[in-house]
Amino acid sequence: MNSTAIQAALDRQIELEHEINRLCLAKFAKTCIACGGKCCRANLSSLTIESWWLRNVSVRAHGKWWPDDWQSRSGCVAQGPQGCVLTAGRPTYCWSWLCEPLLAECGDLWEVIFYVFLSELPAELTRLTPTLDLLQLDETGVATNLPLIAERIEEAHKLLAEAQTLIDPAADKLDKNRVGLHLLCRMPRLLHPLAREAMLSRIAGG
């Protein structure tokens, strides 16, 4: 096993999640704070601890963050006084955070597509093949599939860079249409019912 190559892949995953987190906070932090709702489910942080990949991403980013008695805790052990302690290594469920109030913050069709894309990118990344899930692999599985894992992470970085055309004020309409169509074709999961409804409402509104 090439531990240096695995560490490099973990670091690229951390960079990706940090950028997603930065973009999400810049857009929605005030709305989420004002809402005051609890979107976290008690058992989600255990998914990070139990997944070899997510556990190692989180440890590389934060060190050991979970308490030794995490299995007996009733709440989410990733929750600290300032919210989630994980800026990387979160379960993919925790990235699929879009709700109606947040989608209402998106001004146009392109913004809707962009933020839906952000919320679904981590889950898309983990599906290495139709039958191979990164989050289910143990250490040996990660080592065996490392070239594919590294390829998917780099693809995710490229998609994220391309997607930011959608929120670039200097980008022209043709480029935004092209990028939006590419993302929707590349990731059909973006057309889940809540997102589809928001997209259709922007189209109907002109």
Beta strands in the chain (DSSP E): 79-80, 83-84, 127-129, 132-133
Q: Which sign, positive or negative, has the C-alpha torsion 63, 24, 149, 157?
A: negative
Residue 194 pLDDT > 60: yes
Residue 75's pLDDT band, with cuts at 50, 70 and 90, is confident
Burial class (CB within 10 angstroms; exposed 0-12, middle 13-18, buried 19+) of 193? exposed
Whole-number pLDDT of residue 206: 61
Q: pLDDT higher for 138 or 95?
A: 138
pLDDT of residue 175: 97
pLDDT of residue 7: 96
- pLDDT bin (cut points 50, 70, 90) of residue 73 is confident
Query: Average pLDDT for residues 178-202, to the nearest whole number?
Result: 95
Out of 89-98, 103-112, 185-194, pick the least confident: 89-98
Give the pLDDT confidence score for residue 60 in this predicted structure: 96
**pLDDT for the residue 42:** 66
Predicted local distance difference test score (pLDDT) of residue 15: 98
Provide the β-strand partners of residue 84: 79
> For the whole model, what pTM was predicted?
0.92
For the chain, what is the mean pLDDT?
92
In contact, 179 and 162? CB cutoff 8 Å? yes
- The predicted structure's pLDDT at residue 133: 97
Confidence of residue 26 (pLDDT cuts 50, 70, 90): very high
Q: Write the DSSP assignment of 160-204 as a string of letters.
A: HHHHGGGG-TTS-HHHHHHHHHHHHHH-GGGG-HHHHHHHHHHHH
Q: Are 111 and 182 in contact (CB under 8 A)?
A: no
Q: Which has the minimum average pLDDT: 70-79, 150-159, 193-202? A: 70-79
Residue 117 has pLDDT above 90, yes or no: yes
